Chain A
Amino acid sequence: MLRHAAFTNIWLAAALVVPQLLLVFIFFYWPTGEALYWAFTLEQPFGGSNQWVGWLNFATVFKDPKYWNSVQVSIIFAAATTAIIISVSLSLALLVDRRLPGHQIYSFAYFIPYAMAAPAAGLAFRFIFSPNAGFVAAINNWFPNIWNPATDGFDAMVLVVLCQAWKSIGYNFVFFLAALQSIPRPLTEASAMDGAGAMRRMWDIQVPLVMPTLFFLLIINLTDSFVDSFGIIDITTHGGPARATDLMVYKIYFDGFKAQDYSLAAAESIVLMLLVIVLTFIQFRFVERRVHYA
């Protein structure tokens, strides 16, 4: 007897799998293939003739100091947002998990920001943090010129990091809360009876037990901040001032859609894709070893 379930009707199996494969092909492999082809040619905006140029587009990308600036900015953005998102959402989940009165209201409130579209969040942040008219403008009254994301690159980066973090914390919070709630109560109760305080229980029992979730969220957040941060940048800073928030994904958008340099944007997309793959690989190879799946 087979130890695992198997289809005897291979055609039925194929028919069931095909729609899924087709979707993946149409929405991933086909465009990626097209981008790969464009990355090795010089494509005119309206089509027409395109010529094979080998590695020229990649050479253009790599020898451009502004591209390396983009890479650096993207890495800072990804690291900062991920650190903030994970630490804040885990803390919130740990607190809500203590089930103090009214905790349902908190879980609801924390999740709401995720339901907001990135451009809407960006617009709200732009207004709130605008140096002259915004809510935060008050700080400039006490310390003149301390906050101005329109001219100060660091402030602009803080603004987009906060915006991306604010938007994603709710999503991460739900995952952490679910993970915490799946920890058997007797474990925490037993340690409480042994005299461990709330902080000790969190640190020694709960956090280690949600490590698989934390690892999953780490990868999702890093990937997200590399590929899904376009909307916020486009509304708040347009990559400025002086390219201080010119994330790789925004540069791809600008070069491809605004400047109609499809080949350069294609090469940049391929580089970004490889970078995300490498980062994910590194995490699975080295970070995951420290994660114990229950």
Chain B
Amino acid sequence: MNNTDIKRITPKNITDKEFFYGHKACAGCGGSLAVRLALKVLGERTFAVLPAGCMSAVGFIYPQMAFVNNAIISTFPGAASMASGISVGARALGLKDYKTVVFAGDGGTADIGIQALSGAIDRNEDIIYVCYDNEAYMNTGIQKSGLTPYGTKTTTTPAGKNIHGAQTFKKNLFEIMAAHEIAYAATASVGYPQDYIDKINKAKHTKGTSFIHVYATCPTGWGIPTEIAIQIAKEAVDSGLFYLAEYQNRNFKLNKNPKSFFPVKDYLLKQSRFKHLTDNDIKIIEQQRDEKWEYMRKHWN
């Protein structure tokens, strides 16, 4: 479908129904905002699949059911396979006008669930996979995941005198998914909610597998005041440490290409997970960011 054919969803015309309500997520949770907005765009006729992770832990607390649509908890590595089964099962039953969506965390996507997701994309199942990325295994108490960036203090990568937090860089998940020649892939941030809504809407109208990697704040794990949750997700994009991009028809597209970046130091040092970083560590992070942007500006668009 042509992108211009899709009716744009804005705060004015978005449904006022809530499909993720009364959940027990921490105050200021970016992941719950990502789930809430996605379900508002996708609508009531949506099957949601949630592997182990924050959103399944906070959404299904018997007898409190925060999901108003159909929702199910899957095994940790099998979210994409379960969604595939639901999608084809509903088709076999003759259901029309339905969507299947997965809400998985960064660990459930980049580490544990990647095999099932890769298989689902390979079969081009008609599912939407939303990875809300809070950059560690937050639900189990902040352990390092494949999407934890360099220098982050977690319980498995503590900040000591010699080693300053995680020593690996963030896995390039978006490009790994795009390398499957997926129907639609995008990165988004809860700091740019309209951009995220547009991308979910595009995924809704895409036939085949869609993957959306959304950057979601975790005030508890990141050590920030709850009220700046949205601001910090915006600053991550403005500082160039996260980017907004799309992949469709074998083309990469940068949605936001800032001329100058928001100072990385200001973004990092607001968060207690980065408080220990030295100027040298920040230089390494900046250098890695500049290399990435040089590549993206040259090859994408």
A and B: bona fide binding partners: no
